[in-house]
Amino acid sequence: MFQVLSKSLIELEVNGEIKSIVVRPADTLLFALREQLGLTGTKDACGNGDCAACTVLVDGWPVKSCLMLAVEAVGHKITTIEGLKDIPIQKAFLDKFALQCGYCTPAFIINSHALVTIHPDANDEVIKEWLQSNLCRCTSYEEIKEAVKWVLGQ
Amino acid sequence: MTAEEMTIIGKSVNRKDAPEKVRGAAKYTTDYIAPDLLHAKLVTSTYAHAKIKSINTNEAQKVPGVQAIVTAEYCPGIVGVILEDQPMLAKDKVRYHGEPIAVVVANSEYEAKKAAELIQVEYEPLPVVNSPGEAIKPNAPLIHENHGDYRRLKHVFPEPGTNISNHVKIRKGDIGKAWAQCDVIVEDSFSIPQSDHAALEPRNSRCEIKPDGRVIIYTSSQSPFIVRKLISRYFNLDEGKVIVNTPLVGGAFGGKAAVHLEFLVYMASYAVGGRMVKLVNTREEDLIGSPCKIGLEAKVKLGSTKDGIIKAAEITYLVDGGAYSNMGVAITKSIATDCTGPYKIENVFCDAICVYTNHPFTTSFRGFGHMEYTFAIERTIDMLARKLKHDPLELRIKNAIAPGDTSPSLVGLTPSNIGNLKECLNQIKKLINWDGGRKVDMGNGKIRTKGISCFWKTPSTPTDAVSGAVITFNPDGSINLNIGPVELGVGSKTVLAQILAERLKWDINKIHVTMEVNTELNPVHWKTVASMTIYMVGRAVLEAAEDLISQLKSIGSIVLRCSPTDLDVADGKVFLKEDPNQHLDVTEVVYGYKYDNGNSIGGQIMGRGTFIMKHLTTLDHDGGKGVPGPGWTLGAQAVEVEFDAKYCTYNILKAVTVLDAGKVLNPKTAEGVVKGGMSMGLSFATREYFDFDIQGKVLNHNLRTYKIMRFGENPQYIVNFIETPQIDAPYGARAFGEHGIIGMPAALGNSLAAASDTDLNKLPLSPETIWKTRKEAAQ
């Protein structure tokens, strides 16, 4: 079993690239992504798993990176918002005005992208179940739903 | 220009900040990462009111990586933007749970945190003031013993020897005689709790002091120019040597208008020889340590004739300003000037009083107190309708404010400054299908009801609030629009580019707007608050455009050998009106025009424009007469619920807003902002509040226990605009960034009161509250 007992060099696979970083055992994946790798598209808004602004994909599934240790991510494929380029959900968020301040947007896009990939036939109930983990304080959520439904309809 | 001729105003132009936001490339203040950055951590009060007997930092100093620990003994004076009542760090005593006491600076965040946890603060608890009602009791503990001595602006009126930080009086007409004209009188009390903005980006700042003495601050703020002013004032620095930067802000809603962390991070940087220090609130600190939304206790008495003409309003508003007044005292004035809601009432007697409590301190929040008092007024209007046996919507139409009436502070109203409330009500009647059944028994224990409310708001700005705009060209003929407001998320930078594009008849894609604000480089904008960005900066942009056009015509007239009046400007060209083929491309003149022989004329073309508020006055203290803002934005809102009569649970089915926008400049952003406000209003009305224990401590200071509306809990939203132009506003556009929130709790309250046959006068409207209130009323 992989063990980290003190500050150690680990390798993470992030957005298809292998990155070597030094972490403390207590460092969260969120901390490592932002502070060690400079991938600041992943946001810290509660540090407690309540708002999901720090969502990334781990092997294709959305995970709150504030609730995962960096060392737990070793051996998994991590995708952050910086790894998603010109995918349909990004266009949909633009066209449907599904963002305002933009702080929750990367995580909503990550989560929505996983949703439409894993459940291409998602109905309203499934969409709600997936997206209610993420908080948005600016929009009414209707715009975000519209963006997701537009992608599902493609 | 008619609507048909306008090419870019009224179009849903895509937001200029959106492409980088969807890619995670947008940078916010806290996204600056550097190896030499130091990190600060706060030590905050665990009591709401207590003497500080001692602060022991010995163990904390020993933590590896710790660079400095700052406590109140190193801080200059006390601060405040209107009333100076707040120490930068608590000194001698703490006045609210979460108040900063010390700042630890260390090499890393976790080392700073470790040291902060080792700082021992010894307290001696003091009696707590836990509500506005308690604050004004004769023997209430004094939270500020000497607040009569505090320095203040001349238009706030603290009452020494009490917990009152401001008292605003509105005296319109003759209330004594008015009651005699009333056949029906209703009277009730209301309570609206404190809550928080909970913007997704927690408040954060960083600071460094350069070897030449320049102070560079980066902060998530709505007021970088006020940060510059206050840092300079309280640390005795040249204002020109304080440079404040604000990139994109991750939501603000008024909560980032206050200057707070900036003082602490400056002192932290000073303590480590000017190195750059970063201070980021945890969510817990952000909810209670940084300023929150006011609470309100209201008493409203309305009287009308039997025909439903409202003749008199007597109102007391007690504002829970928390431990320090900050903007609470200004919100109190703003509540007073609009105290009746948008109704024609000839006799008004209103006292709006801001009090200190041992609750988190307060600042502006979307609506600036209007959401809170509107709940009280609009619930009372529904009670009046019930007593009169009138239709609540028709009663509102009958009393709707209109041109020719006066506001509570005696401003004369015109079509330009007030808009058309009756038309909003007529439209909402159709959109909510008012006549199709206001209360319908669904037969399965569920009842469907509709509730309605009206709202209005004028900005309550300083009388000299000012904005500027500078326009320069790039050699390719594209334009740089240089302005000072912060992009908080509402898309105002894009809309301002539209305003410029429309005036210059320019391609919107060839207009680049400064997204970040730097107080050294950008022209001033007072603060990005009060929904005033489009009005104020828009006016400055239009003036700058005129300046630019006149310069283009001036140089064009020389080269094209004609009078400047023969020329027009559009699509990157200066051309003869009668023959557009005779033209100059702007690329030939933006940095001066060069003749074939090398002679050159002109120079760089730059447009400058400015705007300052006109004709505003402070309120006179005895009667409350005065002009608070340049115009009102008003509208009507409705909410339909399905209520379970047994369990008092409910679903919100539909929420509607009809708002007089003057002119809709960008329909999609306008609709989004109003819907966002409605969503926030319903979230607040259904669940948001600070849960204080008997010692004044906040029990729910994280997002697991402080609930916010989530995806899928939202109703269907409908937003409709009518357009009565405000003549002095850019293209007639009224301010409405905040307004979607204002009437939502009231409309929901009216809907649920009808459903439960219970007077619901307290927020939030949880099923438990409804059940308890109904049970108590039945006893």
Which residues from chain A sit within 8 angstroms of residue B710, using beta carbons?
132, 135, 141
CB proximity A43 to B under 8 Å = yes
- Cross-chain residue pair A81–B24, CB shorter than 8 Å: yes
Q: How many residues does chain A have?
A: 154
Angle CA B189–B338–B313, to nearest 5? 50
* Rounded CA separation B374/B639 (Å): 15
Please, are residues B472 and B522 in contact by the beta-carbon 8 Å criterion? no
Residue B533 dihedral angles phi and psi, to the nearest 5°? -60, -50
Q: Give per-residue burial for A75-99: e unless 16+ CB within 10 Å, then b.
A: ebebbbbbbbeeeebbebbbebbbb
Nearest one of B14, B131, B49 to B508, comparing CA atoms: B14
Residue B530 Cα distances to A136, B255, B734, angstroms: 22, 12, 12
Q: B48: which 2 tokens?
A: 């709401």
Nearest one of A117, A109, A97, A93 to A43, comparing CA atoms: A109
Q: A9: which 2 tokens?
A: 């060099």
Nearest one of B394, B403, B485, B488 to B199, comparing CA atoms: B488
ipTM of model? 0.98
CB proximity A28 to B under 8 Å = no
* Rounded CA separation A110/A103 (Å): 13
Contacts of A70 (CB under 8 A, 6+ apart): A10, A12, A21, A23, A27, A28, A29, A31, A32, A36
Q: A35: which 2 tokens?
A: 């502070």
Contacts of B428 (CB under 8 A, 6+ apart): B393, B434, B452, B636, B637, B638, B656, B657, B658, B720
Which residues from chain B sit within 8 angstroms of residue A137, using beta carbons?
197-200, 251, 253, 680, 708
- Cross-chain residue pair B714–A90, CB shorter than 8 Å: no
The CATH homologous superfamily to which domain A8-80 belongs is Beta-grasp domain (3.10.20.30)
Query: CB-CB: which of A46, A131, A139 is closest to B676?
Result: A139
Which residues from chain A sit within 8 angstroms of residue B676, using beta carbons?
100, 138-140
* Rounded CA separation B549/A74 (Å): 60
Cis bond upstream, residue B745 (ω within 30) = no
Report the sign of the C-alpha dihedral through residues A15, A18, A19, A25, in that order.
Answer: positive
Contacts of B577 (CB under 8 A, 6+ apart): B566, B567, B568
* Rounded CA separation A46/A134 (Å): 11
* Rounded CA separation B624/B333 (Å): 9
Kindly report whether the global pTM for this prediction surpasses the value 0.80.
yes
* Rounded CA separation B493/B665 (Å): 12
Note whether A8-80 and A84-152 share their fold: no
Q: What is the 8-class DSSP label of residue A44? A: -
* Rounded CA separation B289/B359 (Å): 10
First-to-last alpha carbon distance for chain A, in angstroms, is 44
Q: What is the 8-class DSSP label of residue A35? A: I
Question: What's the maximum distance between 2 C-alpha atoms anywhere in chain B?
Answer: 98
Write out pLDDT tens, residues B88-131: 999 999 999 999 999 999 999 999 999 999 999 999 999 999 99
- Cross-chain residue pair B200–A131, CB shorter than 8 Å: no
Residue listed under structure tokens 């007391």: B316
CB proximity B712 to A under 8 Å = yes
- Cross-chain residue pair B248–A48, CB shorter than 8 Å: no
pLDDT under 50: residue ranges of chain B: 1
Write out pLDDT tens, residues A19-41: 999 999 999 999 999 999 999 99
CB proximity B777 to A under 8 Å = no
* Rounded CA separation B435/B428 (Å): 11
Which residues from chain A sit within 8 angstroms of residue B22, using beta carbons?
90, 93-94, 99, 102, 105-106, 109
pLDDT of residue B725: 98
pLDDT of residue A5: 82
Q: What is the 8-class DSSP label of residue B119? A: -
* Rounded CA separation B638/B659 (Å): 12
Distance from CA of A73 to the nearest CA of B (A): 21
Nearest one of B444, B324, B430, B310 to B381, comparing CA atoms: B310
Please, are residues B707 and A141 in contact by the beta-carbon 8 Å criterion? no
Nearest one of B456, B310, B458, B446 to B382, comparing CA atoms: B310
Q: Identify the bridge partners of residue B453 per DSSP, sorted by sequence position.
A: B637
Please, are residues B455 and B635 in contact by the beta-carbon 8 Å criterion? yes
CB proximity B107 to A under 8 Å = no
Percent helix / strand / coil, chain B, rounded to 5 = 30, 25, 45
Nearest one of B231, B234, B262 to B246, comparing CA atoms: B262
CB proximity B64 to A under 8 Å = no
pLDDT of residue B6: 79
> For chain A, what are the domain ranges?
8-80, 84-152
Cα B284 to chain center, whole Å? 22
- Cross-chain residue pair B712–A93, CB shorter than 8 Å: no
Question: Which CATH topology does A84-152 take?
Answer: DNA polymerase; domain 1 (1.10.150)
Query: Is 70 exceeded by the pLDDT of residue A2?
Result: no
Distance from CA of A145 to the nearest CA of B (A): 8
Residue B721 dihedral angles phi and psi, to the nearest 5°? -115, 140
Write out pLDDT tens, residues A76-131: 999 999 999 989 999 999 999 999 999 999 999 999 999 999 999 999 999 999 99
Interface with chain B: mutation pick from A138, A146, A148, highest number of B CBs within 10 Å? A138
* Rounded CA separation B586/B507 (Å): 13
* Rounded CA separation B80/B147 (Å): 12
Which residues from chain A sit within 8 angstroms of residue B201, using beta carbons?
43, 45, 101, 103
Residue B534 dihedral angles phi and psi, to the nearest 5°? -65, -40
CB proximity B675 to A under 8 Å = yes
- Those of residues 265-284 in B touching chain A at CB distance below 8 A are 280, 282-283
Q: B273: which 2 tokens?
A: 């020889």
Please, are residues B262 and B283 in contact by the beta-carbon 8 Å criterion? no
Outline where B119-273 has alpha helix (H).
132-135, 175-178, 224-234, 261-271
Number of H helices, E strands in chain A: 5, 5
- Those of residues 45-64 in A touching chain B at CB distance below 8 A are 45-48, 50-51, 53
* Rounded CA separation B44/B288 (Å): 10
Interface with chain A: mutation pick from B27, B200, B678, B703, highest number of A CBs within 10 Å? B200
* Rounded CA separation B296/B362 (Å): 12
Instruction: Compute how many other C-beta atoms are within 10 angstroms of the C-beta atom of residue A6.
Output: 6
Outline where B216-297 has alpha helix (H).
224-234, 261-271, 283-288
* Rounded CA separation B132/B189 (Å): 13
Report the sign of the C-alpha dihedral through residues A28, A30, A35, A37, in that order.
Answer: positive
Nearest one of B432, B453, B425, B419 to B660, comparing CA atoms: B419
CB proximity B13 to A under 8 Å = no
Give me the amino acid identity at A46: C
- Cross-chain residue pair A103–B717, CB shorter than 8 Å: no
Cα A24 to chain center, whole Å? 22
